[in-house]
Amino acid sequence: MHAEAFVDVGAPCFHSRIPRRGAYAYTLIDLVVTTTIAGLLLVVLIPAARNAERQSRDLVCAATLGEFGAAMQAYAVEHQDWIPGVNTSGLTTRLLALTNPEELQAGDVPVQSYDWMTPLWPYMRDEALPAVRAQRWQTLWTEFKCPSMKWEYDILYGEADDYDDFLENMPPGCSYLSPAAFAYWGGSHEGEILAEGTTPSGRPVVVLARTASDFFSVQPPVEYTSRLSEAGAMEDKIFAADGFRYVNPDRILDFDVQPDPVWFGVFTTSGGWNPISNAYGVIQDSENWDGDIISQGNYAQGHNLPLTYRHGSPEPLTPADCLSTPLGGQTCRGNKGGLNGLFFDGHVTLMSDQQSRPIDMWYPAGSIVQNDPVGMTTSSPGYEIP
């Protein structure tokens, strides 16, 4: 008999009780496990994605500063070693502000006497800047905006004939600042006439060299002028860095529209060593990095720090958030953020608060510390900056 005759075709097939591949039914436990795993992945991946996005923005900021560095060196080569600033490229703006303000509406004129960006524009972009000063300003700060800088100005400050233009063309917040110590000249140039002109009514006008004020706690060499060769070791001196002006105690961000402000404007700053710096200063009675008490903080009392040291720390959503110490601190020691510094030799470095505070990098070689030596690091009166 054939073997198949012994098969009981009516017997139940054991294999029919095994579910077919792909027909597995999820249980409640399976669902809980899957949901937990998905949640854990989100916990890990979302911060990683945000961190990657933040790092990408930070790299753009550093790359923009690098562009400025190359342009600054090219400018110096073509302009007899001069650094763009209030006594050089800004001289045109200063003179026109006194004599023919309407001529400030020209694409190649610095928007403010401290404006170092407009002179560098031709070395960075092919198209011309707008003739209208407010539009020119808006273009500069939009084109060179640091993506990590998310704050806008609240109000206009100062007087200008074209004030109303800025109401229609308000620029985004300032991203980068240059230390003004490299733009001011030494005391021997006080009273030196740099330009002369007349007003439309025939009144004579002279423009004097702008020298370091006696108020400054660090004085440049008396013969100093803003030439690249006089700055000092270029790899050790900062030409520009991340920074934001202004933040006041009421957390109002104001924008100075004056063509020729008396001090600093919104393109320059007193620098990272100065504890009362508008951009880099800290809260009064806090400790500097040498452990000494800072007797005078800046008028924002450190609330500006998260806006200037904008890399690597929790991001404030609004200026009001800067009041919260964990977001960056109101002291140098509590500040967890970093800033990019562009040095005169063209290299860019991301620095922590402590790394950005040494006095030597913010002032020209040969500058002398005066009678108030307590800055973000402590220096003795008479210390000569190398």
Residue 381 lies in a domain: no
24 within some domain: no
- Could you tell me the pTM of the whole model? 0.86
Q: Where are the beta strands (DSSP E) in 64-203?
A: 155-157, 176-179, 193-198
From first to last of its 386 residues, the chain has per-residue pLDDT tens of 444 443 343 444 434 444 455 555 667 776 666 777 777 766 555 454 456 566 667 789 999 999 999 999 999 999 999 999 999 999 999 999 999 999 999 999 999 999 999 999 999 999 999 999 999 999 999 999 999 888 888 889 899 999 999 999 999 989 999 999 999 999 999 999 999 999 989 999 999 999 998 878 999 999 999 999 999 999 999 999 999 887 777 778 889 999 999 889 999 999 999 999 989 999 999 999 999 999 999 988 898 898 899 998 777 667 777 777 666 678 999 998 999 999 999 999 999 999 999 999 999 999 999 987 789 999 999 999 99
334 part of a folded domain: yes
The answer to whether position 26 is within a domain reads no
Residue 359 lies in a domain: yes
Q: Indicate the number of domains in the chain.
A: 1
- Name, in order, each residue with C-beta under 8 angstroms of 153's C-beta and a sequence gap of 6 or more: 170, 171, 172, 173, 253, 254, 255
Residue 364 lies in a domain: yes
d(CA 251, CA 304): 9
Which structural domain, as residue segments, surrounds residue 353? 31-369
- What backbone torsions phi and psi does residue 163 show, to the nearest 5 degrees? -50, -45
